[in-house]
Chain A
Amino acid sequence: MRLEVSGIVKRFGGVTALNGVDLAVEEGEFLTILGPSGSGKTTLLKSVAGFEVPDEGVVRLGDQDVTMAPARHRNVGMVFQNYALFPHLTVAENLAFPLQMRSVGKAEIARRVKEALALVELDAFAERLPRQLSGGQQQRVALARAIIFGPALLLLDEPFGALDRKLRESLQLEVRRLQRRLRLTTLFITHDQEEALIMSDRIAVMDKGRIQQLGTPSEVYDFPVSRFVADFIGESNLIEGTAQGTEVYVPGFGALTLPQAPASGPVTLLLRPEALRLGAEAQAAPCRAQATVLETVFLGLSVKLRLRPEGGPDLLARLPLRPSDPPPAPDGATVTIGFAPGDIHVVPRG
């Protein structure tokens, strides 16, 4: 079902946790709220789930105003950060719980529990207690419990935080597959930008109780609307320059011409590290500079370099690396670096 929140304000004492949030999650959409801790994303989630009532604003599920509805009447499935599995109940009993609360018949419960267990591939674990399961299995039980009663909306509160990286990646894909298959309207909360980029249909970047930008992952990544968003998502080189017409003066690189003219005066330019070229590739680039390699960090599939162009700010470059490749340049060496004007995004000031 479609979720719509509008004009949500929530204060705790003197602190404003949410300061006018408008957001709509379309039916079947996977929307991620991405933000640092303290940005208000958890409060937003609690307002949607019904564990907090906002001071102002409206929460709508489908065509119903549920702002004041108690959590148990909202028909919203939620996966908690720590899963909140009931430790004294078996996996099957955990799954049966929401159905019992809805007075579903015994036979029907048994059938649906079996179905849900099959869905998350835990058929053999029905009679286990949560503590007898691995972290990943617990996570899947929590997910199954949140969707078994056919909720109008699925809420995921940083559900992958406690898992190790490999497991996290496989579960992320599994959750996404399941969500698509069941066409579940999903609101996902995370502070992990990589996770947000991988999983979402759209991302809402939150900071200071407001949504800073709402868009598809590539929109948010390539065209951040503010310094905060540019900095928070991915790695970035933010360069201060001066614009005059379509000409922008970039320290260390001189003047370059942009396809579209920003407002004249000081501008902030975003140059993603992977857009920066090095050595032979840089020779062909329209904007070039000589730079000293300060530091090299080996990352497996890529290598990251910290560079200092003559007369310019320090820059990060990330170069893909094949297994047999030698390091691009030793620390202290002088290399040519460059980029194309099309790789530059002008970050609006505000």
Chain B
Amino acid sequence: MPRRERRAGLPAILLACFATVVFVFLMLPLLVVFPISVSSAAYLQFPPPGFSWQWFQRYFNDPDWIDATIRSFKVAAVCTVLAMTLGVPLSFLLVRSRRRGIWILDRLAAAPIIVPTIILSISIYSIFVRLQLIGEWYGVAIAHTVLALPFVVILVGAGLRGFDESQEQAAIGLGASWPVAVWRITLPQLRPSLISAGFLAFISSFDELVVAMFLSGASMTLPKKMFDNIMMEIDPTIAAVSVTQILLVALCLGLTALFGKGALATTMSR
């Protein structure tokens, strides 16, 4: 591309260098845990003296770690289902309603992102103590739903705002009932938004620590288990857990890029 070369001046080169440095800064911590997770040393040592799968073995053979992992999957899955089944319809209300006061509900739905998580956590904690929900995994899942709802509403709402409503009208004019029109015409076209919303809801719950710290009690989620582990002793098992998580996220990212055309772009630009 000769034309591009002609245009690329010094500022463009500097900009590219700067961006690369930032990207390295962002990726560096993720990359550094890989060699440590397969280190043969019992203590943090870099570069690792030798290769060993022992930390992965320890992770996968320790029932506590596996329990916590499975629990986190359950919590995140339930949270995602709840956040989507509640959040997608809520997006319709927030985007489509012509009532004047609707913006108040719009702010309410976005508020759990703005209100510091610590406040939300102790607020829910004080309620859950009374309901004796502390230590129940589904209690964590429900609390996580509150945190995931804004992501769903923002992403799906943005998709819905960009959707031409006359298509729904057309479908109704052609004989569809409103629910059928939404199901067959609107939702399929919101697929990128729906996929990234679901993904974000899942990850936000799977990674969440502060709420889980207060609500999970003895039945720990994975982040809580990791936190305790970091506080007490740092051994490379954490690195093995981290690598597993990073690979999982990378896999999800890849899948989203494959199946949700434009889903990543939606996440990026919202």
- Is there contact, CB below 8 Å, between B171 and A86? yes
Give complex CA distance A51, B184 in Å: 19
Interface-facing stretch out of A55-63, A75-83, A256-264, A288-296: A75-83
- Find chain B residues with CB under 8 A from A88 CB: 188-189
- Is there contact, CB below 8 Å, between B166 and A87? no
Give complex CA distance A75, B173 in Å: 8
Partner of B174, one of A51, A87, A98: A98
Nearest B-chain residue to A84, judged by Cβ: B170
- Is there contact, CB below 8 Å, between B173 and A78? yes
- Find chain A residues with CB under 8 A from B172 CB: 51, 70-72
- Is there contact, CB below 8 Å, between B164 and A84? yes
- Find chain B residues with CB under 8 A from A149 CB: 174-175
Partner of A87, one of B169, B184, B189: B189
Query: Would you give the 0/1 interface string for B111-144, flagging 1 where the beta carbon is closer than 8 Å to chain A?
Result: 0000000000000000000000000000000000
Q: By the criterion of a CB under 8 Å from any partner CB, how many residues of chain A are at the interface?
A: 24
Query: Would you give the 0/1 interface string for A128-143, flagging 1 where the beta carbon is closer than 8 Å to chain B?
Result: 0000000000000000
Nearest A-chain residue to B168, judged by Cβ: A84
Check A333 for interface membership: any CB of B closer than 8 A.
no
- Is there contact, CB below 8 Å, between A51 and B189? no
Where chain B touches its partner, the secondary structure class is helix
- Is there contact, CB below 8 Å, between A102 and B164? no
Q: By the criterion of a CB under 8 Å from any partner CB, how many residues of chain B are at the interface?
A: 17
Scan residues 184-199 of chain B and give those whose CB is less than 8 A from a CB of chain A: 184-185, 188-189
Nearest B-chain residue to A83, judged by Cβ: B170
Nearest B-chain residue to A102, judged by Cβ: B175
Check B218 for interface membership: any CB of A closer than 8 A.
no
Where chain A touches its partner, the secondary structure class is loop
- Find chain B residues with CB under 8 A from A223 CB: none
Compute the total of residue contacts between A and B using a CB distance below 8 Å.
Answer: 54
- Is there contact, CB below 8 Å, between A82 and B164? yes
- Find chain B residues with CB under 8 A from A86 CB: 167, 170-171, 185
CB B193 to nearest CB in A, in angstroms, measures: 14
- Is there contact, CB below 8 Å, between A80 and B166? yes
Partner of B170, one of A50, A74, A75, A78: A78
Check B245 for interface membership: any CB of A closer than 8 A.
no
CB B181 to nearest CB in A, in angstroms, measures: 9
Nearest B-chain residue to A74, judged by Cβ: B173
- Find chain A residues with CB under 8 A from B176 CB: 72, 97, 101
Of B167, B175, B177, B180, chain A has the most CB atoms within 10 Å of the CB of B175
CB B266 to nearest CB in A, in angstroms, measures: 16
Partner of B175, one of A49, A72, A80, A87: A72
- Find chain B residues with CB under 8 A from A81 CB: 166
- Find chain B residues with CB under 8 A from A78 CB: 170, 173
- Find chain A residues with CB under 8 A from B173 CB: 49-51, 71-72, 74, 76-78
Contacts known (A86-B185, A87-B189, A88-B188); A98 close to B175, Cβ less than 8 A: yes
Check A145 for interface membership: any CB of B closer than 8 A.
yes
Partner of A145, one of B174, B177, B184: B174
- Is there contact, CB below 8 Å, between A80 and B170? yes
- Is there contact, CB below 8 Å, between B175 and A84? no
Partner of A84, one of B167, B177, B180: B167
Scan residues 69-112 of chain A and give those whose CB is less than 8 A from a CB of chain B: 70-72, 74-78, 80-82, 84, 86-88, 97-98, 101-102
- Find chain A residues with CB under 8 A from B185 CB: 86
Query: Would you give the 0/1 interface string for B20-42, flagging 1 where the beta carbon is closer than 8 Å to chain A?
Result: 00000000000000000000000
- Is there contact, CB below 8 Å, between A51 and B188? no
Give complex CA distance A96, B212 in Å: 50
Give complex CA distance A249, B174 in Å: 58
List 18 interface pairs A-B (beta carbons < 8 Å), by A numbering.
A49-B173, A50-B173, A51-B173, A71-B169, A71-B172, A72-B172, A72-B173, A72-B176, A72-B177, A78-B170, A82-B164, A97-B171, A97-B184, A101-B174, A101-B175, A101-B176, A101-B180, A102-B175
